[in-house]
Chain A
Amino acid sequence: MSVAPDKPAPASAPNSVGAHDTQAAPSEEARSSPCVHCGFCLPACPTYDLLGTEMDSPRGRLHLMDALESGRAQPTPTLLGHLDSCLGCRACESACPSGVAYGERLETTRALTVHAPRAEGTTSPWLRRALLFGASAPAWVVHAGVVVTAAAQRWLPGLTRGIAKRMGPGAEAGLELLARRRPRRARLPSHAKPDHTPKRRVALLLGCLHRPLSASLHEATQRLLLRAGCEVIVPPRQGCCGALARHLGELDNARARVAALMDDLAAVGRLDHLVVNAAGCGASLREAAALWPADHPRHAEALSLGERSVDALELLDELGLPPARRAVPRRVALHHACHLVHAQGVRDAPERLLASIPGLQLQALADADRCCGSAGVYNLLQPELATTLREQKVQACRESGAELVAAANPGCQLQIEAGLAAAGLGLGSTHPLELLDEAHRD
């Protein structure tokens, strides 16, 4: 497991080597990072905050996962409901003094229970099935699905709304989000070099869902990397990072995707970094090695991928940018994306970069590192809780006095944007990279 430098390493027991016993069992590392029940995770957990029940807290969920493993509890729909209510935001990991690898525990437990029946009335079984299909389909199918749904929504709004309504509030929430973006192909040179000797040779990950939805973000990222002195390759063949499949518990599929991605990257030659601009994808890639047992040939390769995967903001912060070309006189609040701040331990880089933009005024945002409810596909699977979190985030944004909210994950950005629009506030949302790009563009 690769961790960011400013995040302390997870605990490991004297005898552990971080190896998996079987592919579906938690690694020794996850198993041996003991929860000592101190309860420090409770105030950090958004679902415990909302529901007030320990079954829906990190300590309670770990207790339930232990009970599942030891056979004291069965994977009943009620129990799985408590695991499904988890955002996977991993704020508990930032709060945990004991270094419990909660995310890994949750992932492996979800993998063992992915097809077990869920309680009725929680998530639409249709939507869950559709997402599971998406997680196991080739990346181009996901890509095409997004484009076709967006087109259908534009040209056949009545029909798409009708279908979504039958699939439940999660699907409707999904459409609401999709309506905010017009998918298009990013205009990216497949190979771009700076004028001088490149400081690093990097590849840019485009993702699956975000390939068509974040075209302008990808273009901004490439320009910034070039400006920071990187040789930037956009591998023509590249699929999905497997994060969505992992969140749902489809580990076989996640393995296939990461393996394919590693093969695609191998084709472009030596790389210093795989640069990611979506925190969710970045977190998953950094932990890619956890997908394979230590003696598996893919393990070492995934370890190396994890070490080289880096969030664009972290890399730009490390390399530094030449002085900005123009001021961006805006009041900006920074929302810390969970998968950047909690899963990757990157907290200061985005703030430092935004503070470096002339004219930009950073506004304090209350609970900036609390999940906005997006959490991968959580906003589709648990629309009720996700919407409450979104409303809390919108309230904090409103109180911050900002005119623009920046989030380093396209999912958060979309979620917050939809929330701001629903509240009728005149606030916009953006990615910190797009603000930086605005300051650095020709």
Chain B
Amino acid sequence: MKLILGLVLPLVLAMALTLLVGVQDAGLGNLWNALFVFDPADPAQVVIHSVRLPRLVAGCIAGAGLGMAGTIMQAVTRNPLADPGLLGVNAGAAFAVVVGALLLGSPDNGMIAALTFPGAALASVAVFLLGGARTGAAGPVRLTLAGVALNALLLSLISAVILARSEVLEVFRFWVTGSLAQANTRPLLAMTGTLVIGTGLALLAAPRIEALALGSALARGLGTRPARVQLVALAAITLMTGSAVAVAGPIAFLGLIVPPLSRRLSRHHLRREIFVSAVLGATIILLADTVGRLVVAPAEIRVGIMTALIGAPAFILVVRRLKPGALT
């Protein structure tokens, strides 16, 4: 009970701040009206209803999706440095979108958002194979460096494509660095759906993933088939990351910051951990976005930069905590 209150209250606060704070601060009265008795003639209400509310929804999808994806990745790989952004899964999803827009010759197509899923799937398979999942030796260093390489490759290709066809792809310039701006143009409803499916898969697979953490021999003895569990986990990660990237672009580090916190709060119970990660992820991203909108108003710092500013020190902290023997 205490846990629920401790989690939900900050989230509600973050949501309220997202709706209220901005270039034009909206009063609580406006907020109430915009949500429940919307008047399209009042500009203050319009800002809340059609700019900040989509932003809120996009933030929740991206935050929850990336937070949960990070938790599952870390549970499956048992690597505290696993994060969909750092391992190149986000970049894979973004690359697929940019290439799709290039081939179709137009960025404004609902189909394009769905390309994040095959992109994320391919990138996660690639990074796990490259990181040595097959040989069973995916140490934190290897996996992280494989992610660094995959990220460098994909992000270089993305900027090459965007620079080469800037007239068509200009709209992706901001999206590729991770931003909640223009959330009202993103397929929010569809991506909520895919995120829910991904969450369902993850919750179903959670006990099996925990069994897998005991070691694959022991897991087999308990009736778990490691390959199948890994495949389901991969599908869940793909759905969550793909949804997040489709609404907010590739945002790194959230999947790194959230899992250690949620692990502590949920006493090593993976299903609970997944829930806690979703709430924490959404809270952190909304707060980061609000701060990013305030510090340089009327301009804004993209939320991907804000999470990186928090996430890089967190990364170093996690590295320092690794036991020397656990590096390889």
A and B associate in one complex: no
A residues whose Cβ falls under 8 Å from a Cβ of B: none
